[in-house]
Amino acid sequence: MAKDKFKEQFAEAAAAAFKAAYPAVYMNTGDEQVFSEDFVYDNLEQPKDPKMGRFAFPVFRYTKLLGQKPPVIATRVATEIGGILNRNQGPVLVSPSAAGGFVNARVDFVSLAQGTLEDILTLESRYGGSDWGKGQHYLIEYSSPNVAKPFGIAHLRTTIIGNALRRIYKKLGFNVVGLNFLGDWGTQFGKMIVAFRKWGNPAMLEENAIENLHGLYVRFHEEVEQDPALDDQARLAFKELEDGGEAVKKLWQDFSDRSIKEFRRVYDKSGIEFDEWLSESMMNEEMDNIIARIEKDGLARLSDGALIVDLKDPLLPPCLLRKADGATLYSTRDIAGMVYRWNRWRFFESLYVVGSSQSDHFKQVFKVVEMMEVAEKLPPEERMSGRVKHIGFGWVKFGEKTFSTRRGRVVYLEDVIDKAAALVKDIIAEKNPDLPSIDETALMIGVGAVIFSQFSVRRQKDVNFDWDIVLNFDGETGPYLQYTHARLCSLLRNYDRRISSAIDYSLLDREEELRVIELLADFPAAVESAARNYEPFFIASHLLRLAATFNTFYQRKDGQGRIDRIISEDETLTAARIALVKAVQAVLKEGLYLLGIKAPEAM
């Protein structure tokens, strides 16, 4: 990973300080590791109050080892670090000091400003990237809607979180494969076929195929109440499909093609990308092999005619592989899919971004694979266990009031996006009626609002989607960030000159400017932590803080209550401030990009 050079300097000095201050203890503890540079680096915190400095290193854990109270240790180490820094040339860290059980350190403001801004201005969108994942495949499955079913709000979150994770992991150097795994197999297709034959007609597939097919499916469930024989017909139809019957296969293929066409339209509109499309039906060919392999591993047994795997875990029910009528299941297809992906990509990790309601399902299939690998005594490098992860998330709550739909109770994602764009268009028409390409911009902002709503809380929490909240240009929203970005672009347009390379960074000496520069410097860490926790929310909240802090600086008044302008008569001061503006603009744009949001230059 790209290391923060200030942190590195602190860690190096702290390790040396321990050695100098406590030579005897250091020699004898057998705990050298906690005195090492790496350890200090990894355990550096940020002081709660930024005025206390940029880093805080807690020393509580050394109480026993060193036989002293934390404040005593902190003072001793801080003094020692101070001496070491003074001996080194050109210190970028200054005035380490003890505060309770912490050693705090400030960084030299000019070095921080210069180092950070120069990095951003030269790297631009590459700032915050790294080559952590070089040469490794990283799989991320997301979206995975079901064919012939509405692409609704239920798939909103997986699509948006997965799309963001794909971009984040790419930034960290991985060969990312963003995977859409369509649900296009299972007994429901038997029902769909029966319903289509009874009540459908080809015209229904020409337009709004998904909506029409869904209508037929709903009707099937109503009619089956009166006529249970329909269920038997559906089972037969699915059996026919599994056995490769031409006529049913053709119908099913048509359902699938039409649905995919509609899915693509929604993805295009919202800027969602994939590298690979797979589907449950594509796993059919692997089905016999995988079942044979599990049987050979001695893991399967028959129970009432069905084939199951006991998971030897009191919290998990057995995993069903094949029903008594011979049909395979969702789990079987997922196990086959895991093996397929492992064989094809030998991934560093493989994520399944799927709602937390499926967490038992994933525990089951992961467990089966682990049992297979153990039974087969595979060497560690041949095992995918531990590399497959279920990335769960909570529900999206769509208040009844906030969305009424002409299409019944289902909330279609496309309708949400269209509505967002329409509402934004009204807002722009009022605020900035002369904006060229209003429709395009309104769509960018509408989509941005919908996407950002999914990052307003950590993924395990539920999201309450409320139009007034997600579209608030002054709230913690996508449009707020986009608006801030557009204002920065307009400042840069007004400046209308090349950004100077000889900047006097010491002029950026206001408290707000320091905060902004620190947030810019912390952007790479926010990206990394988003990746490590599979939590794009960390980037979202970092951007909100950056924008809010920048906006206080931007709106600052001078002693006489006049707006303190960024572009002023003072050329060198203006040049320095413009460099800061450019850096904030670049980081906002890149951060939004990582979340899947476009940053218009005017709005």
- DSSP H stretches of helix in 312-396: 330-345, 359-375
Q: Is 455 in the site for ligand ARG (CB under 6 A)?
A: no
Q: Tokens for 110, please give them.
A: 């000019």
Helix (H, G, I), strand (E, B) or coil at 465: strand
Residue 75 beta carbon to ligand ARG: minimum distance, rounded to whole angstroms: 55
Under a CB-based contact definition with an 8 Å cutoff, are residues 405 and 423 in contact? no
Query: Is residue 217 at the binding interface for ligand ARG, with CB under 6 A as the rule?
Result: no
Q: Tell me how far, at minimum, the Cβ of 280 lies from ligand ARG, in Å.
A: 7
Q: Are strands 137-141 and 349-353 parallel, antiparallel or unpaired?
A: parallel
Rank residues 362 and 537 by Cβ distance to ligand ARG and give the closer one: 362
How many chain residues are in contact with ligand ARG, going by CB under 6 A?
A: 10
Smallest distance, ligand ARG to C-beta of residue 331, A = 9
Q: Which is nearer to ligand ARG, 116 or 146 (CB)?
A: 146
Q: How far is the CB of 182 from ligand ARG (least distance, A)?
A: 7
**DSSP assignment of 261-301, as one string?**
HHHHHHHHHHT---SEEEEGGGGHHHHHHHHHHHHHTT-EE
Does residue number 259 form part of the binding site for ligand ARG (CB under 6 A)? Answer: no
Coil vs helix vs strand at 438 = helix
Cβ 263 to ligand ARG, closest distance in Å? 12
* 296 vs 344, beta carbon nearer ligand ARG: 344
Pick between residue 334 and residue 373 the one whose CB is nearest to ligand ARG: 334
CB of 282 to ligand ARG, least distance (A): 12
Decide if 411 contacts 398 (C-beta within 8 A).
Answer: yes
Query: What whole-number distance in Å separates Cα of residue 236 and Cα of residue 214?
Result: 20
What is the Cα–Cα distance from 510 to 566, expressed in whole angstroms?
Answer: 13
Q: Smallest distance from the beta carbon of 292 to ligand ARG, in angstroms?
A: 22
User: What's the min distance (Å) between Cβ of 535 and ligand ARG?
Assistant: 19
User: Cα 542–544–549 angle (5° rounding)?
Assistant: 95
Residues 122-181 that bind ligand ARG (CB under 6 A): 141, 144-146, 181
Q: Which residue number, 141 or 476, has a Cβ lying nearer to ligand ARG?
A: 141
Q: Are 123 and 139 in contact (CB under 8 A)?
A: no
d(CA 392, CA 355): 5
Which residue, 391 or 444, is less far from ligand ARG as judged by CB?
391
Nearer to ligand ARG, 463 or 546 (CB): 463
Residue closest to ligand ARG (Cβ): 183
* Minimum distance, C-beta of residue 271 to ligand ARG, in the bound complex (Å): 21
Instruction: Report the C-alpha dihedral over residues 341, 342, 345, 349, rounded to 10 degrees.
Output: 100
Q: What minimum distance in Å lies between the beta carbon of 408 and ligand ARG? A: 19
Return the residue of 22, 35, 217, 352 that touches ligand ARG, per CB under 6 A. Answer: 352
Which of 183, 448 has the CB closer to ligand ARG? 183
Among 148, 153, 205, 354, binds ligand ARG (CB under 6 A): 354
Q: Based on CB atoms, which residue is closest to ligand ARG, 334 or 590? A: 334
Binding mask 83-122 for ligand ARG (x = CB under 6 A): ----------------------------------------
* DSSP assignment string, 82-135: HHHHHHSSS-SEEEEEEETTEEEEEE-HHHHHHHHHHHHHHHGGGTT---TTTT
**Interface mask (CB under 6 A) for ligand ARG, residues 300-339, using x and -?**
----------------------------------x--x--
Q: Which candidate, 137, 155, 147, 140, places its Cα nearest to that of 279?
A: 147
- Look up residue 132 and give its two tokens: 């952590």
- Which of helix, strand or coil describes residue 9? helix
Residue 215 beta carbon to ligand ARG: minimum distance, rounded to whole angstroms: 19
Cα end-to-end span (Å), the chain = 36
**82 is a site residue for ligand ARG (CB under 6 A):** no
Q: Based on the shown chain and the rule CB under 6 A, indicate whether residue 183 belongs to the binding site for ligand ARG.
A: yes
Q: Which is closer to ligand ARG, CB of 101 or CB of 337? A: 337
- Burial-class residue 563 by CB neighbours within 10 Å (0-12, 13-18, 19+): exposed
- Residue in the structure block whose two tokens are 């039409």: 258
What token pair was written down for 168?
């984040």
Residue 94 or 260: the one with the smaller Cβ distance to ligand ARG is 260
> CB of 453 within 8 A of CB of 465?
yes
256 binds ligand ARG (CB under 6 A): no
CB nearer to ligand ARG: pick between 392 and 478: 392
35 or 142, CB closer to ligand ARG? 142
Least distance from C-beta 80 to ligand ARG, angstroms? 54
**Rounded Cα distance, 515 and 523, in Å:** 13
Nearer to ligand ARG, 104 or 256 (CB): 256
3-state secondary structure of 368: helix
Minimal distance, residue 403 CB to ligand ARG, in Å: 21
Rounded Cα gap, residues 413 and 158, in angstroms: 12
Helix axes 523-532, 511-521, angle to 10 degrees: 40
Q: How far is the CB of 362 from ligand ARG (least distance, A)?
A: 8
Q: Are 101 and 130 in contact (CB under 8 A)?
A: no
- For the window 457-476, what string marks contact with ligand ARG as x by the rule CB under 6 A? --------------------
Residues that bind ligand ARG (CB under 6 A): 141, 144-146, 181, 183, 334, 337, 352, 354
